[in-house]
């Protein structure tokens, strides 16, 4: 007896060391309304989901994280390759609620776990739901602690109470009865576990791709609306410019008609040789003088102004009827 007690005591430090490193896990699914119910954050013993498969023990997860989890929020997705651990239990729970697309993930770092939730919550279209399945607990899953998504300890039981289970024989039944009548569950080989994991990861990736496509379709729709708005704006600007051009053309036509009328009513009656012409000068007064005193004029040169067009910085042009009465034949040079 003393030897047995000593052996048990000697084994205690080793057992404590084996489970000293914990892992963090959560599970979620998408319901028919597009909401994403998520469990609370579970702290598990390091070998809680390994099932004798090293890649899912603490060290195996840690090795994966060293290569792929470079920043908070990056966690490793796992599959329900066994119905005994937390992953399989949640998959069954989701299926009983009519949800076939459930998934779980694991990390050895709590800041990565909380970072994952922060990233998902920032995506409004995911509609994260932290209340509807917050009370869900696994059974016999080596849960060490449960916390909410603020990182605070959560009230309530760590694990669900054990109920009637075909896999667990009743203590009242004899060993002979149990061995002869209790059903046994097929234990997956590594190859079967890998195959199921790959299939479920493919389904998970397909779901993510569909969500990504929805986001891209929404972005394209937004871009199309913006493009049409820009086209409408440009069309309105062109229409306004065309209308302004029409107004200016009409105004010019009116001015031309008025000028023609003025020309006709101001044409000297007794000067059949009068011509309508313009004269330019640095100012309007100089322009008028050049009409009767400039080169090619004489004492009999006459000018009857009709309009003047001063242009600031560019001089002035006067227009009117210009003729010679024949009085004085010498032309000025």
Instruction: Note the pLDDT of residue 251.
Output: 92
Q: Which H or E run contains 143?
A: strand 143-147
Instruction: Note the pLDDT of residue 145.
Output: 95
Q: Where are the domains of the chain?
A: 2-182, 188-246, 265-324
Retrieve residue 131's tokens.
């209340």
Do residues 18 and 42 make contact, with C-beta atoms less than 8 angstroms apart? no
DSSP 165-192: -TTS--TTS-HHHHHHH---PPPPPHHH
d(CA 114, CA 309): 79
Question: pLDDT tens for residues 194-213?
Answer: 888 889 899 999 999 999 99
Instruction: Note the pLDDT of residue 327.
Output: 72
Instruction: Note the pLDDT of residue 265.
Output: 85
CA angle 167, 173, 175 (to 5 degrees): 80
Instruction: Note the pLDDT of residue 105.
Output: 94
Those residues with Cβ within 8 angstroms of residue 307's Cβ, 6 or more apart along the chain or in another chain: 259, 262, 318, 319, 320
Do residues 265 and 306 make contact, with C-beta atoms less than 8 angstroms apart? no
**pLDDT beneath 50: ranges in the chain:** 1-19, 164-182, 184-185
| Local structure of residue 49 (DSSP, 8 states) | T
Instruction: Note the pLDDT of residue 206.
Output: 92
Instruction: Note the pLDDT of residue 79.
Output: 66
CA 290, 293, 295, 297 torsion-angle sign: positive
Instruction: Note the pLDDT of residue 83.
Output: 59
Those residues with Cβ within 8 angstroms of residue 67's Cβ, 6 or more apart along the chain or in another chain: none
Instruction: Note the pLDDT of residue 328.
Output: 61
Instruction: Note the pLDDT of residue 175.
Output: 46
Instruction: Note the pLDDT of residue 329.
Output: 58
Question: pLDDT tens for residues 51-102?
Answer: 667 888 899 999 999 999 988 889 999 865 555 688 889 989 999 998 878 8
Count of residues for the chain?
A: 333
Question: pLDDT tens for residues 17-30?
Answer: 334 589 999 999 99
């Amino acid at each position: 007896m003393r030897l047995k007690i000593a052996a048990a005591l000697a084994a205690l430090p080793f057992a404590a060391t084996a489970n000293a490193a914990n892992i963090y896990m959560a599970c979620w699914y998408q319901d028919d309304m597009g909401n994403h119910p998520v469990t609370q954050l579970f702290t598990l013993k390091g070998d809680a989901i390994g099932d004798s498969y090293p890649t899912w023990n603490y060290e195996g997860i840690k090795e994966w994280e060293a290569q792929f989890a470079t920043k908070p929020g990056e966690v490793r997705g796992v599959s329900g390759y066994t119905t005994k651990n937390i992953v399989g239990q949640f998959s069954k729970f989701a299926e009983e609620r009519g949800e076939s697309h459930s998934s779980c993930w694991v990390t050895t770092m709590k800041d990565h776990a909380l970072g994952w939730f922060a990233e998902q919550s920032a995506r409004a279209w995911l509609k994260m739901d932290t209340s509807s399945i917050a009370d869900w607990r696994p059974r016999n899953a080596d849960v060490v602690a449960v916390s909410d998504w603020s990182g605070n300890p959560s009230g309530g039981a760590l694990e669900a109470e054990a109920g009637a289970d075909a896999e667990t024989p009743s203590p009242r039944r004899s060993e002979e009865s149990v061995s002869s009548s209790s059903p046994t569950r097929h234990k997956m080989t590594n190859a079967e576990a890998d195959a199921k994991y790959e299939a479920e990861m493919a389904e998970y990736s397909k779901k993510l791709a569909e969500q990504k496509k929805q986001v891209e379709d929404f972005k394209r729709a937004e871009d199309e609306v913006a493009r049409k708005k820009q086209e409408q704006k440009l069309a309105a600007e062109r229409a306004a410019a065309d209308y302004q051009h029409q107004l200016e053309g009409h105004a010019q036509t009116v001015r031309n008609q008025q000028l023609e009328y003025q020309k006709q009513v101001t044409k000297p009656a007794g000067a059949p040789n009068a011509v309508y012409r313009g004269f330019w000068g640095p100012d309007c007064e100089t322009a008028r003088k050049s009409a009767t005193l400039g080169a090619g004029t004489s004492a009999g040169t006459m000018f009857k102004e009709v309009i003047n067009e001063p242009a600031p910085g560019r001089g002035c042009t006067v227009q009117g009827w210009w003729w010679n009465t024949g009085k004085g034949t010498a032309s000025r040079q």
